[in-house]
Amino acid sequence: MLDISDFKNEIIHWNRFGTSTVCSNYEDIPIFTNEFWTSKQRAAHSLHEISYRACFKPQLPHFFISRLTKINDSVFDPFMGRGTTLLEAALLGRHAVGNDVNPLSRMLVEARLSPPKLIEIKNRLSQIDLTKRPEYKCDLEVFFHPNTLAEICALKTYFIEKSKNDHLDNIDLWIRMVALNRLTGHSKGFFSVYTLPPNQATSIERQKQINAKRNQIPDYRDTKLLILKKSQSLLKQTLPNDMPNTRPQFLNCDLNTDRLEVKKSVQLSVTSPPFLNIVNYKTDNWLRCWFAGIDPETIQITQTTKLDRWKELMHRTLVSVARITVPGGYFAFEVGEIQKGVLRLEETVVNAAENTRWNPELILINQQNFTKTSNTWGVTNNHEGTNSNRIVLFKMKE
């Protein structure tokens, strides 16, 4: 575990591509630019390989967790999304604590923090009756073959009924998580015909247009087989022995109004908050919400084009996280890059920390030579898309 001086020295002398570039200071805060972690897409543990819109790579939280915490410390993410920070913390032997106003987030991460064995998944799948489907949503046939859709509806019924009786064990949680991940995508590994990349769901009307343009109709996909194949891929790497045995803690707080309460004090928080109206989490996840039995209209995700309002939410977030952080603890606050890098949200975050217990120590810019976002959407790297991670590292005042 490094103190802040050693951490800064390591960054200064980072030599992956020569020593780090030190930019002109922003209000006496040093800014370091380099490629501090790899841009390779599958360089992290296989358990991370599920899709979610606007998520950062596992190497980002790993960089900070491995240097600024020790085994059995607590690591927190106030906007946990798919749970990248929580999973990486657990893989490194830290206690994972996460919060998200969207209940879908917990469904995506909880199962991966306590994964079952492949044989247990196979046995449970064989026991699920896919003929029991009181609901059949026929307008979804634009995505799915009727027989596939019937299986999906049966799976939905199975999980919702067991959830009502609080009978979902870690095997059921796992199968539900994988099914949520396999609903729609652009390859034979998904339940749907070809559609948008798997981190979002297009509308029914838009899918009709895609089908007409590609002259395609949904073919049958075996849901149980695809769930088993994806499970095998996620579980292909062994789990480290030092993953903590204690259960993680999950919160479902709106940081606009709710007070965070955790069982243990936090040594480090790592997060990437909702950006300025860049991603519509409700519309992107409408199909997942349907499958999980969630009404997306009840989810109060803060999305705004107003920079002042976004800054207010970031201020409240910093104040809330300060209450649960130990003196001398850290907060790595990632804000990505929007508007082709013209709008520097890291400066807004620094300003949002005024009159809080956080002291900004540095701004770290991880510059990537390749981004999956650019490749997926067919845009030129280092011109459009998310080409860098921009992180403000705060330290709690003693």
Mean residue pLDDT of the chain comes to 87
Q: Would you state the pLDDT for residue 271?
A: 97
Higher pLDDT, 240 or 211: 211
Indicate the pLDDT class of residue 381, thresholds 50, 70 and 90.
Answer: very low
Q: Token digits for 104?
A: 């879908």
- Nearest in space to 189 (alpha carbons), one of 227, 162, 242, 137: 227
Task: Quote the pLDDT of residue 280.
Answer: 64
pLDDT at 119: 98
Alpha-carbon gap, residue 234 to 215, rounded angstroms: 33
User: How big is the chain by its Cα radius of gyration, in Å?
Assistant: 21
Whether residue 195 has pLDDT greater than 90: yes
Q: Which of 53, 64, 1, 17 is nearest to 391 (CA)?
A: 64
**Residues 96-142 pLDDT 10s:** 999 999 899 999 999 999 999 999 999 999 999 998 878 889 999 99
**pLDDT reported for residue 342:** 62
Complete edge-to-edge strand list for the sheet that includes strand 29-34: 21-26, 29-34, 358-367, 388-396, 325-334, 266-271, 74-77, 95-99, 249-251
Instruction: Give the pLDDT confidence score for residue 385 in this predicted structure.
Output: 45
Long-range CB contacts (< 8 A, 24+ apart) of 13-22? Answer: none
Percentages (nearest 5) of helix, strand, coil residues in the chain = 40, 15, 45
> 15: buried, middle or exposed (CB in 10 Å: 19+, 13-18, 0-12)?
exposed
Task: Encode pLDDT of 267-276 as tens digits.
Answer: 999 999 987 6
pLDDT tens, position by position, 152-187 = 999 999 999 999 888 899 999 999 999 999 999 999
- DSSP letter string over 119-184? HHHHHHHHHS-TT--S---GGGGGTS-HHHHHHHHHHHHHHHHHHHTT---HHHHHHHHHHHHHSS
- Whole-number pLDDT of residue 281: 65
Q: Given a cut of 70, is residue 42 above it in pLDDT? A: no
Is the model's pLDDT at 383 over the cut of 50?
A: no
DSSP one-letter code for 330: E
Would the pLDDT of 26 be above 90? no
Q: How confident is the model at residue 338 (pLDDT cuts 50, 70, 90)?
A: low
Q: Closest Cα to residue 123, out of 221, 235, 231? A: 231
Domains and CATH numbers, the chain: 4-104+243-291+299-396 (3.40.50.150), 118-234 (no CATH)
The model's confidence at residue 378, banded by pLDDT at 50, 70 and 90, is very low
